[in-house]
Each structure stands twice: as structure tokens, then as C-alpha cells.
């Protein structure tokens, strides 16, 4: 079989180099290098054609954004977008390889068979921007609404936002994963992420990131956070040989580049190690969001905290 064509490439190669982009947009060449690197794209020579005419508008928009905010903020945003797009493209490529390319090759398909599938994949890739626009619009509206709910009945002060922050991991994940094949492990990880995303989103939270067998989430209110914690305990508890545990705290956090920082985040992360399987330990502030009486779980000495922290236990018992 001939060389396998690239399903995601376009029919024409880039016509503009970094130097061309800098000249056409008036942006410094060193900034062009920084933007490319922040995007997660490998460095290239400044005279190598890699961009097309329509890319100029994106760079002009970046320049306008930098004037409105600042270059460090704009570059930070590019870094977040680049990281997200990299994951999207890896997922798209993996989906094509596993579900289209390999089945065609294994079945003895011809070059024409594979080329026909590549053509369909290219058409889908060309339409991906419309999906991205839709999701960007809806997620932006949801983010604004979540932020406003977090400030309801509170005076906005400074850079910190009151949020519920939680972490939940799966006890037994590592030992179980060692007994699985690569495909079985991929299926387990996929179910883990799907369950986390659906449970968190259903209860008005946001899945911030997956860290191995641990999920981090935020919610606008302590009540939303408690509902998410209960949902994760219930849904993850349905997995055989796996038991969820977690920690959650509520208070002012710093939101930057799509992530969250501060003592409240650290507190929630530390509480995970203190929880027993089947339990989420809550700070007292977070526990006020529960609609049922929760038992006190004593005071815990946590790394990074000078004084013992009073905690409350949330479980499904």
C-alpha cells in the first residue's frame, strides 16, 4: 500500500513565514516566536513558510487583545488555548487511526478505500471550526453565569472569587490498572473521565482537570459542591474494585489561565489523603452547603497548615 495520506492536512502548504507575519501585522518577530511556542508548536526558522493569509487576522486579533489586556495575559491565554487544541487534535487523530485507518488496513483495504475515508475525515476537519465557535459561545456564557453566582449576596473584592473546590480520586485504581490490557485501561480511563464530567456538569460545576486517577472540580456555591461530591461518590462507587474518596473546601480562590490557586485549593487537595474510602472530607465552610446534617470528623493536622483544621465527613451511609 502507498504512503498513508495525512487526513488533517490541507491541499496547499503554508505560504507565509514568521517574518512575513511580523511584517504584515507590525508585531515584533520575537513576539511571533513566543506566540508559536506558547501555542505548543515546535520552533521553526523565521523564513520557513508555515502560515496562510487567513492566519493574519488571528495575529492581528492577538495584538488587539494585548493592547486591551497585556502581552503576558495574552500569551498566557494563547498557552491555554494551545494546550486545549493540542488535546483536541490528538483525540481527533487517535479517533481516526483507531476507528478508520487501522480497520481499513487490517481488512486488506486498497489505497482507494483508505483515500475515500481520508476525504471524509478532511471534510469533517474543515467543519470543526463551526463546532468550536458554538462551544466557545456556550461555555463563555456558562463561565460568566457561574462567576456571577459565586458572587451572589457577596461584595466583590479584589482578585479572589468565592468557590467550592474539590478533589476526588479512586482507591484501587493503580492495582486494578496493572491487571488490565492497554485497551481495557483506555476504556477504564475513558469511563472515569466521562463519569466525572457528566456528574460535575449536571450539578452546575466545572471539571478543571484530570490528574491521573484524580479529578479536580470547582462550583460556584458550597451547595453545588456538596451535590457534586455526593454524585461522584455514588457514580464512582459503581465501579468494581474501586472506591472513591475526596476533599472539598469553600472560600476565596484565585482564578488564572483556566485553573485555580490559593490556600482553599491546597486545603481541598490535602483533605483527600485524610479521607477514608467512600468519604469526602469537607471544610466547615464547605459543609454549610449540604442539605443534611453531616457528622464532624475531628481536627486534622495538614501539611502546609500551621493549625489543625476542623473537618466534616460526607458519605453515602
pLDDT digits (tens, 9 = 90+) for 71-120: 888 898 899 999 888 888 888 888 888 888 888 888 888 878 878 887 88
Give me the pLDDT at residue 13, please: 63
Q: Which residue has the higher pLDDT, 105 or 307?
A: 307
Give me the pLDDT at residue 238, please: 86
Phi, psi values for residue 245, rounded to 5°: -150, 160
Write out the DSSP string of 160-189: EEEEEEEEEEEETHHHHHTTS-HHHHHHHH
Phi, psi values for residue 145, rounded to 5°: -65, -40
Helices (H), the chain: 18-25, 29-38, 55-68, 71-96, 102-106, 111-126, 128-150, 173-177, 182-202, 222-236, 263-274, 284-287
Residues 201-223 have pLDDT tens digits of: 999 999 999 988 899 999 999 99
* DSSP helix/strand/coil, 4: coil
Give me the pLDDT at residue 11, please: 41
Give me the pLDDT at residue 153, please: 63
Taking each helix axis from N to C end, the angle separating 111-126 and 128-150, rounded to the nearest 10 degrees, works out to 40
What pTM did the predictor assign?
Answer: 0.79
Give domain limits for the chain.
18-126, 145-315
CATH of region 145-315: 3.30.70.1230
Summary mean pLDDT of the chain? 88
Are 253 and 177 within 8 A, CB to CB?
no
Amino acid at each position: 500500500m502507498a504512503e498513508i495520506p495525512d487526513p488533517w492536512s490541507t491541499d496547499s502548504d503554508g505560504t507565509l513565514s514568521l517574518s512575513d507575519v511580523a511584517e504584515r501585522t507590525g508585531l515584533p518577530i520575537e513576539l511571533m516566536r513566543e506566540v508559536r511556542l506558547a501555542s505548543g508548536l515546535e520552533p521553526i526558522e523565521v523564513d520557513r513558510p508555515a502560515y496562510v493569509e487567513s492566519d493574519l487576522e488571528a495575529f492581528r486579533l492577538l495584538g488587539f487583545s494585548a493592547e486591551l489586556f497585556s502581552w503576558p495575559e495574552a500569551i498566557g491565554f494563547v498557552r491555554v488555548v494551545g494546550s486545549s487544541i493540542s488535546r483536541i487534535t490528538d483525540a481527533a487523530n487517535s479517533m481516526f487511526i483507531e476507528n478508520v485507518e487501522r480497520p481499513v488496513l487490517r481488512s486488506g483495504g486498497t489505497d482507494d478505500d483508505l483515500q475515500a475515508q481520508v476525504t471524509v475525515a478532511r471534510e469533517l476537519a474543515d467543519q470543526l471550526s463551526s463546532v468550536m465557535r458554538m462551544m466557545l459561545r456556550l461555555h463563555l456564557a456558562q463561565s460568566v453565569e457561574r462567576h456571577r453566582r459565586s458572587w451572589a449576596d457577596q461584595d466583590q473584592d479584589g482578585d479572589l472569587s468565592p468557590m467550592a473546590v474539590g478533589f476526588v480520586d479512586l482507591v484501587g485504581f493503580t492495582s486494578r490498572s496493572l491487571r488490565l490490557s492497554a485497551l481495557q485501561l483506555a476504556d477504564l480511563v475513558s469511563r472515569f473521565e466521562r463519569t466525572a464530567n457528566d456528574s460535575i456538569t449536571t450539578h452546575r460545576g466545572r471539571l478543571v482537570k484530570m490528574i491521573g486517577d484524580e479529578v479536580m472540580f470547582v462550583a460556584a456555591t458550597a451547595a453545588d459542591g456538596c451535590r457534586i461530591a455526593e454524585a461522584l461518590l455514588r457514580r464512582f462507587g459503581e465501579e468494581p474494585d474501586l472506591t472513591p474518596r475526596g476533599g472539598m473546601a469553600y472560600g476565596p480562590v484565585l482564578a488564572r489561565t483556566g485553573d485555580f490557586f490559593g490556600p482553599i485549593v491546597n486545603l481541598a487537595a490535602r483533605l483527600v489523603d485524610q479521607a477514608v474510602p467512600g468519604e469526602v472530607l469537607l471544610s466547615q465552610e464547605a459543609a454549610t452547603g449540604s442539605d443534611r446534617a453531616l457528622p464532624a470528623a475531628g481536627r486534622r493536622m495538614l501539611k502546609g497548615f500551621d493549625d489543625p483544621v476542623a473537618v466534616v465527613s460526607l458519605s453515602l451511609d
